[in-house]
Amino acid sequence: LYIHGLWKDPLQWATNPGTAYIETALAEGANVVALHLAGHGNDWLNAKDVTTATWIEQARSALREISRVSERVIVIGQSTGGA
């Protein structure tokens, strides 16, 4: 489960030069969920309507989702996504 940093989006994990984390995990046979936090990425104009409780519930929901298909789950977060 990848959780991006403040104002970023899931592409943070896929497009940074030399850090194609999502593609690497998929190539190794992992199930991957890359969460897009509300109010981030191209959705930043709606940030005023989002609370930290929204992000927490999104993370919990994504964790439940990946747990249904994976016996072992690794959570990787960056910046706000890792706090």
- Model confidence pLDDT, tens digit, residues 35-58: 888 888 776 667 778 888 999 999
At residue 64, the pLDDT reads 95
Q: Using an 8 Å Cβ cutoff, are 4 and 42 in contact?
A: no
User: Tell me, what's the pLDDT at 25?
Assistant: 86
Q: Write phi, then psi, for 19 (nearest 5 degrees).
A: -135, 50
The model carries a pTM of: 0.78
CA distances from 18 to 14, 28, 49, 71 (A): 9, 17, 34, 28
Is residue 2 exposed (0-12), middle (13-18) or buried (19+ Cβ within 10 Å)?
buried
pLDDT-flagged residues of the chain (< 50): none
pLDDT of residue 7: 75
| pLDDT number for residue 19 | 65
